[in-house]
Chains A and B, each alone.
Chain A
């Protein structure tokens, strides 16, 4: 029993060897500062421009609309605080959803302290935010609308194009946190019609510590880091060239793998079917409008951290929305947002598969998981009460 199944790709991914190879020369050979005017700097600048153009082309942006950051969280912070503060004279109201990533939720909390009012639109029980619900939340003084493209826990994919249209009808800028989407499903900023879009390298086999923000030309947004003239004077700090090169390479590889998404989807659906066969289990969120690799399920009468620990002991790595896996007492705000009762949300698990997973991995999860659920249920005082009913 030495099988290891990594099924937590929504948390992070290993760096692809081809990405490492592409990065290496930029540590020891082509190590110049892109801002230097001599030849070593020029070479670095050329590589930086090339990486920016390649990334821009993949997501349908212009190169000068791509701004490199240190991570998805920084991109989210910049997009939201930068737009809110730049437009504060017009109004101090923001519309977002109630199941955003903490990088967005806690940024909203910070803006609230600055006097902004936030309306949190709830997704439906299928985990999808409706454009109509967003429309109803918009007010005269709304200065930003932001809804995530794909949810990090349940993987549901929102109708971003339609939501962006709703915002634009009212002449309000629209930002989407696409950290879970970019590199996993096709994303084209022009087609989506968004003003800003964030993504992060380590979700698609680039290293941790590199992200980007797409900012459509003409968008009113404050400078995030004052400094040298990097990133068109909007985000100071010497560019992290090796990581930028790595992210460009990783995104190209990721996009090339889209042709294999049907295989990931088929594995995910088989996993979902197997999970449905476990009594008292629930699949959370729509299975059709969803990232190919994501499945989120709740198992009644057991608690998520216990499930996680026993899966870990069996070599399976997953994630949970249980409160007990964190320092807070509340279970996942995402699962509560889609209407899951608190006691059931405690027993949730997320598996996020990638192209690296195999059918054998799915077989193994489906062999181990029902036994673990049953083993914990045998210990659970809630289970015998339910069985006696």
Chain B
């Protein structure tokens, strides 16, 4: 069902755990829906110098968290904001259709962490789309349907 890359990131997740003294934290999803993703960021001079995650969820949720952290590590905030769920899916060599929402969750968790950083810095922003990662509440098409 899963690509080798998904299985690799699921069984050997990168950047897993809590970051002490994180500059920003973003959490999306809820336990009722079956997945929660939390992203920790260390930001220095507009650059994401370190990143980690904690995730409750299926194999795809853990793998997309891991991949998203890899994709934004060392990047500028602006670059990280451009991360799309599609890029996460592609980097993982694809996801089954019913698991695409996990990649959306990863994208949203990164955005929420950056929003948290902007809030702390007193920078105005319009980052959050209002997706809580629970497909029951959201009818966006994130690439699950052609």
- A residues near B (Cβ < 8 Å) are 301-306, 309-310, 313, 322-327, 329, 331, 342-343, 346, 378-384
- What are the residues of chain B within 8 A of A327 when measuring CB–CB? 98
* Min C-beta distance of B53 to chain A, whole Å: 8
B59 and A306 within 8 A (CB) = yes
- What are the residues of chain A within 8 A of B32 when measuring CB–CB? 342-343
**In this complex, what residue of A is CB-closest to B97?**
A327
B59 and A380 within 8 A (CB) = no
Alpha-carbon separation in the docked complex, A303 to B61 (Å):
10
- What are the residues of chain A within 8 A of B17 when measuring CB–CB? 378-379
B18 and A380 within 8 A (CB) = no
Could you say which of B34-42, B75-83, B110-118 contacts chain A? B34-42
B16 within 8 A of A: yes
Given contacts A305-B58, A306-B58, A309-B59, contact A382 B34 (CB under 8 A): no
B57 within 8 A of A: yes
**In this complex, what residue of A is CB-closest to B2?**
A309
- What are the residues of chain A within 8 A of B33 when measuring CB–CB? 329
Alpha-carbon separation in the docked complex, A331 to B35 (Å):
12
State which of B11, B27, B34, B36 has its C-beta within 8 Å of the C-beta of A310.
Answer: B11
Alpha-carbon separation in the docked complex, A47 to B135 (Å):
54
- What are the residues of chain B within 8 A of A383 when measuring CB–CB? 56
B56 and A381 within 8 A (CB) = yes
A303 and B135 within 8 A (CB) = no
**In this complex, what residue of A is CB-closest to B34?**
A346
B86 within 8 A of A: no
State which of A302, A309, A326, A342 has its C-beta within 8 Å of the C-beta of B56.
Answer: A302
- What are the residues of chain A within 8 A of B20 when measuring CB–CB? none
- What are the residues of chain A within 8 A of B59 when measuring CB–CB? 305-306, 309
B123 within 8 A of A: no
A384 and B54 within 8 A (CB) = yes
A324 and B57 within 8 A (CB) = yes
State which of B31, B135, B136 has its C-beta within 8 Å of the C-beta of A346.
Answer: B31
Alpha-carbon separation in the docked complex, A384 to B25 (Å):
15
Given contacts A309-B59, A323-B34, contact A381 B135 (CB under 8 A): no
Can you show 13 pairs from A to B with CB atoms below 8 A apart?
A303-B34, A306-B10, A324-B34, A324-B60, A327-B98, A331-B34, A342-B31, A343-B34, A379-B16, A379-B54, A380-B56, A382-B56, A384-B18
Within 8 A of A (CB), among B1-29: 2, 7, 10-11, 13, 16-18, 27
* Min C-beta distance of A298 to chain B, whole Å: 12
Given contacts A324-B34, A342-B32, A381-B38, contact A329 B57 (CB under 8 A): no
A381 and B58 within 8 A (CB) = no
* Min C-beta distance of B15 to chain A, whole Å: 11
A303 and B57 within 8 A (CB) = yes
B62 within 8 A of A: yes
**In this complex, what residue of B is CB-closest to A308?**
B59
* Min C-beta distance of B120 to chain A, whole Å: 20
B103 within 8 A of A: no
B55 within 8 A of A: yes
- What are the residues of chain A within 8 A of B61 when measuring CB–CB? 303, 324
Alpha-carbon separation in the docked complex, A306 to B98 (Å):
15
B10 and A309 within 8 A (CB) = yes
**In this complex, what residue of A is CB-closest to B98?**
A327
* Min C-beta distance of A256 to chain B, whole Å: 38
**In this complex, what residue of A is CB-closest to B25?**
A381
Given contacts A329-B136, A343-B32, A382-B31, contact A324 B58 (CB under 8 A): yes
* Min C-beta distance of A300 to chain B, whole Å: 9
A306 and B62 within 8 A (CB) = yes
B58 and A343 within 8 A (CB) = no
* Min C-beta distance of A343 to chain B, whole Å: 4
* Min C-beta distance of B25 to chain A, whole Å: 10
Q: A303-B58, A379-B13 are in contact. List 19 more A-B contacts (CB 8 A).
A: A302-B56, A303-B35, A304-B58, A305-B58, A309-B7, A323-B34, A324-B60, A326-B98, A329-B135, A329-B136, A343-B34, A378-B17, A379-B56, A380-B54, A380-B55, A381-B55, A382-B31, A383-B56, A384-B54
